[in-house]
């Protein structure tokens, strides 16, 4: 490892470091009969094409347009999210946090990278990286300011550190000027970052 | 353990940089490492808390100098050897000495049911809660060399029980000895000033999910 020549062109670069180790490990596990390469393909395809933040956006849009659904979502998020069929790994026990004009919720996992897979898919690099995990708890206002959504001084910021097996989804505020929009139109404007709590939804 | 993974409250890592239109995986090896972790976990030789603990044992300087899926690769290699699915010699040589005993690999048809798992750490057992919502608590000042989900920044701090989540597997013992030690897990609210001093906004707070064994009455 680390002995390979360094090429400028990414595509010409021979496998080195983790890429080489991952390939060697896959061959070993396949030859031992411990993994099946087609199952690996299926796992990857699921998170690349089927499970992602569009799921969460549908939940948010429904909550914005259906008060009874919103009440169920806030009372028992796991059951209300399961109404859409969004269940499973890393979303077994869900909690939804409602933003209001006076409260902003921000979700982090300081110890690793816990994230609600069934509704948001796999976490982005920034969520898993040291700057966010270090700063979200000590300086949430600084992080939100840098990311362009600084809360006013009288807005309460609540940071949720996902240290157990509860998984959190932020219900962002519905932006003004979207009265009369359909659920599908609303789902279009809901972003992943708004459902983590580091952005607000804009029309 | 007071490892490099316990990042909450540290300075010096720079700004949070969000990549526009980020792909789910940035390279093939990341995708394969992710999938290898899940497919290896299918054998049931370790639990999720052992998985986290394995990644935490990456040497601290390496942990901070590497990416997320490098942590996953390190953790997987460690678990495979520690739990006997692969020998150290096989891993070193990347060559099998023997087929795995009676192992049945995850097949394509297993993937969807595996991912639609609905039972994680919540347990259907009756354990009396030690605390109720609204009660003041103080976290224990614990520094175990093993796994813990009580982050350093929240040790020895005063908070209030916000919500009782119910009975859960206790991650700290589950990672070390597979002991589930069923107990209540709570959302505990800490004032930002209790954690970070007078420079923090008076109205802000941090909520941490903690178990009975992390807490004492205040």
Nearest CA-CA partner of B55 in B119, B6, B111, B106: B6
Mean pLDDT score of chain B: 96
Q: Buried b vs exposed e over A127-164: b needs ≥16 C-beta within 10 Å? A: bbbbbbbbbbbbbbbebbebbebebeeebbbbbbbbbb
Q: Which residue of A has its CA nearest to B100?
A: A32
Distance from CA of B140 to the nearest CA of A (A): 16
A109 as an active site residue: the answer is yes
pLDDT band per the 50, 70, 90 thresholds, residue B169: very high
A16 as an active site residue: the answer is no
Cβ distance B9 to A134 less than 8 Å, yes or no, reads yes
Provide the CA B127 distance to its chain's centre, in angstroms.
23
Determine which of B16, B53, B162 to mutate to test the interface with A (most A C-beta atoms within 10 Å): B16
What was the pLDDT predicted at A10? Answer: 45
**Model confidence at A58: pLDDT above 50:** yes
Give the nearest partner residue to A164 out of B17, B201, B209, using CB atoms. Answer: B209
Residue partners of A69: CB distance under 8 A and separation at least 6:
A62, A63, A80, A83
pTM: 0.95
What was the pLDDT predicted at A4? Answer: 41
Set A16, A27, A114, A162: catalytic member: A114
**Model confidence at A6: pLDDT above 70:** no
- Show the tokens assigned to B207: 């909520």
Residue pointed to by tokens 């064994």: B213
Distance from CA of B133 to the nearest CA of A (A): 16
Contact between B150 and B185 under an 8 Å Cβ cutoff? The reply is no
Set A112, A149, A162, A182: catalytic member: A112
Contact between A121 and A45 under an 8 Å Cβ cutoff? The reply is no
Contacts B90 to A, Cβ<8 Å: 28, 32
Contact between B150 and A163 under an 8 Å Cβ cutoff? The reply is yes
Nearest CA-CA partner of B64 in B149, B131, B5: B5
pLDDT digits (tens, 9 = 90+) for A106-163: 999 999 999 999 999 999 999 999 999 999 999 999 999 999 999 999 999 999 999 9
Give the nearest partner residue to B118 out of A31, A87, A132, using CB atoms. Answer: A87
| CA pair distance A154, A157, nearest whole angstrom | 9
What was the pLDDT predicted at B102? Answer: 66
Q: How many helices (H) and strands (E) does chain A have?
A: 11, 4
What was the pLDDT predicted at A7? Answer: 37
Distance from CA of A8 to the nearest CA of B (A): 17
Contact between B178 and B150 under an 8 Å Cβ cutoff? The reply is no
* Burial (CB count <10 Å: 0-12, 13-18, 19+), residue B197: exposed
What was the pLDDT predicted at A13? Answer: 59
Rounded (10°) CA dihedral B167, B170, B174, B175: 140
What was the pLDDT predicted at B101? Answer: 73
A182 as an active site residue: the answer is no
Sheet strand arrangement including B136-139? A103-108, A156-161, B205-211, B183-191, B158-168, B136-139, B215-217
Residue pointed to by tokens 């919540």: B122
């Amino acid at each position: 490892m680390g002995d390979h020549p360094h090429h400028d062109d990414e595509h010409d670069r021979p496998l080195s470091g983790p890429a080489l180790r991952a390939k060697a490990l896959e061959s070993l596990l396949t030859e031992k009969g411990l993994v099946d390469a087609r199952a690996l393909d299926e796992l990857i395809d699921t998170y690349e094409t089927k499970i992602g933040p569009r799921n969460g956006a549908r939940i948010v849009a429904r909550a914005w347009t259906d008060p009874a659904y919103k009440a169920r979502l806030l009372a028992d998020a796991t059951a209300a999210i399961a109404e859409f069929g969004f269940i499973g790994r890393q979303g077994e026990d869900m909690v939804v946090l409602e933003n209001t004009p006076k409260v902003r919720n921000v979700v982090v996992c300081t110890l690793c990278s816990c994230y609600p897979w069934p509704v948001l898919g796999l976490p982005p690099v920034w969520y898993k990286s040291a700057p966010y995990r270090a700063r979200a708890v000590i300086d949430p206002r600084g992080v939100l300011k840098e990311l362009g959504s600084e809360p006013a001084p009288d807005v309460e910021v609540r940071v949720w550190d996902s240290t157990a097996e509860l998984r959190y989804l932020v219900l962002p505020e519905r932006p003004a000027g979207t009265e009369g929009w359909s659920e599908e139109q609303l789902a279009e404007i809901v972003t992943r970052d708004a459902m983590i709590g580091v952005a607000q939804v804009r029309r | 353990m007071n490892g490099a993974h316990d990042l909450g409250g540290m300075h010096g890592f720079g700004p949070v940089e969000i990549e526009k239109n980020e792909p789910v995986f940035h390279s093939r090896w990341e995708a394969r490492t992710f999938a290898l972790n899940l497919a290896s976990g299918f054998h049931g030789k370790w639990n999720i808390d052992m998985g986290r603990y394995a990644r935490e044992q990456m040497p601290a300087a390496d942990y901070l100098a590497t990416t997320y899926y490098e942590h996953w690769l390190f953790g997987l290699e460690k678990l495979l050897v520690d739990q006997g699915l692969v020998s150290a010699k096989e891993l070193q040589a990347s060559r099998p000495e023997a087929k795995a005993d009676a192992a049945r690999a995850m097949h394509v048809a297993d993937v969807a049911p595996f991912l639609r798992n609905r039972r994680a750490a919540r347990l259907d057992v009756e354990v009396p809660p030690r605390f109720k919502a609204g009660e003041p608590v103080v976290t224990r000042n614990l520094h175990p060399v093993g796994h813990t989900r009580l982050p350093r920044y929240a040790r020895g701090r005063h908070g209030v029980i916000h919500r009782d989540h119910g009975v859960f597997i206790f991650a700290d013992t589950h990672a070390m000895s597979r002991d589930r030690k069923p107990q209540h897990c709570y959302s505990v609210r800490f004032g930002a000033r209790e954690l970070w001093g007078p420079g923090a906004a008076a109205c802000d707070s941090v909520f941490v999910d903690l178990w009975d064994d992390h807490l004492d009455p205040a």
